[in-house]
Amino acid sequence: MNQFLFVVFPYLCLATFVVGHVWRYRYDKFGWTTRSSQLYENRLLRIGSPLFHFGMLGVVGGHIIGLLVPQAWTDWAGISERAYHVVAVAGGLLAGVMTVVGMAILIYRRRTVGPVFSATTPMDKVMYAFLGVVIVLGMWNTVAGSILTIGGVYNYREGVSVWYRSFLAFQPDAALMAQAPLGFRLHALVAFGLFALWPFTRLVHVFSAPVGYLTRPYIVYRSRDDAALGSHSPRRGWDRVGG
């Protein structure tokens, strides 16, 4: 069972994540969008969206440091275990609270604003459920994991983190996750389930950063008001637009 849960299942989810995005991009380009509802309501969105997105940036950054940076590196840098976990708890809780509050506002908005609720799909509801469970479990593990590590009971940097790096190296050791506390195992399984759902939700917009805006030409506006043309005569070959 451990081999299935922490070797087979994660790779199935990863394969679905990759193949699903390729399929979605090739056959559903017009659906590759957040399906923005800003036109329906802007007040709550203006508060909830920045909280959620900036909180998620902190969450992702914390996972990159916690999972990909070996403990030997921070030890070499002179960072004590206690100092590391104090920063991890403070930063993790701040990012987690921002994400939870932002998501709560967005869900409330989606439930109470008629047009936004009408545009909500069943997959949106599943996505919110998985996101909520993953975030809450992650916050619990941030606090509990630090307490267990400082107390000498369990160090996730010598277990879960090592398993994750071995998973990325295609040499996963399921025994490392089997020894982890239940909260860490549930967090990992639900997170991989979210990755499997990712290509079929609005989360695909994460891979659509507007990089092209940096190099695209300026938009030229032409006035329809003759008086706004000033003293300059129109260029040859262009007809003046009527009112």
Extents of the domains making up the chain = 1-215
Given a contact cutoff of 8 angstroms between Cβ atoms, the answer to whether 190 and 130 are in contact is yes
pLDDT, tens digit, 9 for 90 and up, residues 171-229: 999 999 999 999 999 999 999 999 999 999 999 988 887 777 778 777 776 666 655 55
Show binding-site residues for heme b.
Answer: 53, 63, 187, 205
What are the angstrom distances between the C-alpha of 69 and each of 1, 72, 73, 139? 28, 8, 7, 19
pLDDT, tens digit, 9 for 90 and up, residues 39-95: 888 899 999 999 999 999 999 999 999 899 998 898 898 888 888 888 888 898 899
120's tokens: 């909500």
Give me the pLDDT at residue 232, please: 57
Show binding-site residues.
Answer: 53, 63, 187, 205
In the block, tokens 């990992």 appear at 188
Q: Is the pLDDT of residue 103 over 90?
A: yes
Q: Please tell us whether the domain made up of 1-215 is placed in CATH 1.20.950.20.
A: yes
Task: Give the predicted TM-score (pTM) of the model.
Answer: 0.80
pLDDT, tens digit, 9 for 90 and up, residues 116-175: 999 888 999 999 999 999 999 998 988 887 777 666 678 888 899 999 999 999 999 999
Q: Is the pLDDT of residue 96 over 70?
A: yes
